[in-house]
């Protein structure tokens, strides 16, 4: 068996792993990265990027439908309705994925990182075997970065098959389902549900909580909830999915109001073509038994603020850890940080705020504290809001039609910005300034005193700060 030795071994080439490997390579560390599938991980191959590609197509398709009416739209008319070819759309999406996958592999190579394809089988905490028989390779490392990522949670009473699918399969459908039932009203379910509605499917969402996107406050959710109604997406909240019933070629989702969860006579059903289960994700921690790393009761690897596990020289990053934020940008940040720690730099994971984005239509964005969270934390709070309908750039892009807004949360006494939220079309592109403001400890006057280019949607951040101070210019 061939034996390879390295200073850094990264397991998993997702957004955390490949960033860690590239940075380690840049720092002159002899680095090997092992990936069982394709470089890029869930985000690039079967998650963030492909879903945003389909969302973009769906938005274009919906706009073209307006142009095909007798009156047209925006002065544009087209002779007939657009048609969607699902297979061609998926091929186009795969082209983007392939391009980015090759880009990641190229970047790894340029950083001097060796990419080994295959699944890592741990012999001990710092030794893995990849492959079988004469092709097997044994890799021995001084330091290990676990970047195994996460997988969709499968409901035991609704196992995945050709009709009950996860987000991965939902991004590969080459035929448009007539009726898509989404089990789970979180960000993944709503993003994909809205996408398929815009493409022409009937969509029903089943959610056990009393609202969709329950992690966001009511004011922030409201424009999205109105949009779901406008798009004729049926939303059933406060209900539990109970299983799948198959009758010939037909499938149905069984569900019950949670008030009557134990009463079988109250169970109802909805017929569907596809059932998309999006009830969360869990860490891909199976196979770590021989490493000796400590897991919590949910299967997450326990780490400190430098992403160190209980095993010396073994780190874990991203979705695999118990830090609580299963986001690609968090994994990338931690990957870069750990590579620098191994090289001797002094860094810790202690962000002031981590941005969360839901790419629905309208988009929902939050960074830092909401008004209620700030009050619960004991802060004296003032807020300022500015609507998309009063912003010229938003009007030219028809972004105001979702009744969205930008909201700033700050301390009343010293005006320190505690959080910024927004909801609306294209609103996600503003989050960089918001996150930077929190990280830099900005006060309202810092934002109010910064010239924001006109006409741009960033002016809404400026106006929301002014509104917090009591003197917004473009709203009465």
pLDDT per residue as tens digits for the range 289-324: 999 999 999 999 999 999 999 999 999 999 999 997
Query: What is residue 185's predicted lDDT score, i.e. its pLDDT?
Result: 96
Please tell me the CATH code under which domain 164-279 is placed. 3.50.50.60
Query: What is residue 34's predicted lDDT score, i.e. its pLDDT?
Result: 98
Does the pLDDT of residue 70 top 90, yes or no? no
Q: Is the CATH code 3.30.390.30 the one for domain 356-469?
A: yes
Rounded Cα distance, 362 and 402, in Å = 6
Q: What percent of the chain has pLDDT over 70?
A: 100
Q: Using a cut of 0.85, tell me whether the model's pTM lies above it.
A: yes
Mean pLDDT of 88-116: 97
Look up residue 11 and give its two tokens: 């397991």
pLDDT band for 32, please (50, 70, 90 cuts). very high
3-state secondary structure of 238: coil
Fold agreement (2-53+88-151+282-342, 164-279): yes
- For residue range 398-451, list pLDDT tens digits in order: 888 888 999 999 999 999 999 999 999 999 999 999 999 999 999 999 999 999
Contact of 312 with 325, CB cutoff 8 Å: no
Active-site entry in 179, 329, 452, 454 = 454
* Distance spanning both ends of the chain, measured CA to CA: 75
Q: Residue 454 catalytic?
A: yes
Q: Tell me the fold of 2-53+88-151+282-342.
A: FAD/NAD(P)-binding domain (3.50.50)
Contact of 278 with 295, CB cutoff 8 Å: no
Sequence ranges of the domains in the chain: 2-53+88-151+282-342, 164-279, 356-469
Query: What is residue 1's predicted lDDT score, i.e. its pLDDT?
Result: 85
Mean pLDDT of 15-33: 98
3-state secondary structure of 52: helix
Query: What is residue 201's predicted lDDT score, i.e. its pLDDT?
Result: 97
Phi, psi of 277, deg, nearest 5: -100, 115
Query: What is residue 248's predicted lDDT score, i.e. its pLDDT?
Result: 78
Mean pLDDT of the chain: 96
């Amino acid at each position: 068996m061939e034996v390879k030795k390295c200073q850094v071994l990264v397991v998993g080439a997702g957004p955390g792993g490949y960033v860690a490997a590239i940075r380690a390579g840049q720092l002159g560390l002899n680095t090997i990265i092992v990936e069982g599938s394709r470089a890029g991980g869930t985000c690039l191959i079967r998650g963030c990027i492909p879903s945003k590609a389909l969302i973009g197509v769906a938005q274009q398709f919906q706009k073209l439908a307006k142009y095909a009416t007798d009156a047209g739209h925006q002065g544009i008319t087209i002779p007939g309705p657009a048609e969607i070819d699902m297979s061609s759309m998926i091929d186009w999406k795969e082209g983007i994925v392939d391009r980015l996958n090759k880009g990641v592999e190229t970047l790894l190579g340029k950083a001097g990182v060796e990419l080994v394809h295959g699944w890592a089988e741990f012999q001990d905490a710092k030794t893995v075997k990849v492959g079988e028989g004469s092709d097997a390779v044994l890799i021995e490392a001084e330091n290990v970065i676990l970047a195994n990522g996460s997988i969709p949670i499968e409901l035991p009473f609704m196992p995945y098959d050709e009709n009950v699918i996860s987000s991965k399969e939902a991004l590969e459908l080459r035929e448009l389902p007539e009726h898509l039932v989404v089990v789970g009203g979180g960000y993944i379910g709503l993003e994909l549900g809205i996408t398929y509605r815009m493409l022409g499917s009937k969509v029903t969402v089943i959610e056990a909580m009393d609202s969709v996107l329950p992690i966001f406050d009511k004011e922030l959710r409201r424009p999205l909830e109105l949009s779901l109604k406008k798009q004729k997406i049926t939303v059933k909240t406060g209900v539990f999915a109970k299983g799948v019933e198959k009758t010939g070629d037909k499938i149905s989702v069984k569900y019950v109001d949670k008030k009557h969860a134990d009463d079988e006579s109250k169970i109802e059903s909805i017929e569907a073509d596809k059932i998309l289960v999006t009830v969360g994700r869990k860490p891909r921690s199976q196979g770590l038994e021989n490493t000796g790393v400590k897991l919590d009761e949910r299967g997450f690897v326990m780490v400190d603020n430098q992403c160190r596990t209980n095993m010396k020289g073994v780190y874990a990053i991203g979705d695999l850890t118990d830090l609580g934020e299963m986001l690609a940008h968090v994994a990338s940040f931690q990957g870069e940080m750990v590579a620098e720690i191994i090289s001797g730099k002094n860094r810790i994971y202690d962000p002031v705020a981590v941005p969360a984005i839901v790419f629905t239509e309208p988009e929902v964005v939050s960074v830092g504290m909401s008004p209620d969270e700030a009050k619960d934390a004991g802060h004296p709070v003032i807020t300022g809001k500015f609507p998309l309908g009063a912003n010229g750039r938003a009007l030219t892009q028809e972004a105001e039609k979702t009744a969205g807004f930008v909201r700033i949360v700050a301390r009343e006494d010293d005006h320190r910005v505690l959080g910024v939220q927004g909801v609306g079309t294209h609103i996600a592109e503003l989050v960089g300034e918001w996150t930077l403001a929190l990280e830099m400890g900005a006060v309202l006057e810092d934002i109010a005193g910064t010239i924001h280019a006109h006409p741009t949607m960033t002016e809404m951040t400026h106006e929301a700060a002014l509104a917090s101070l009591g003197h917004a210019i473009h709203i009465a």
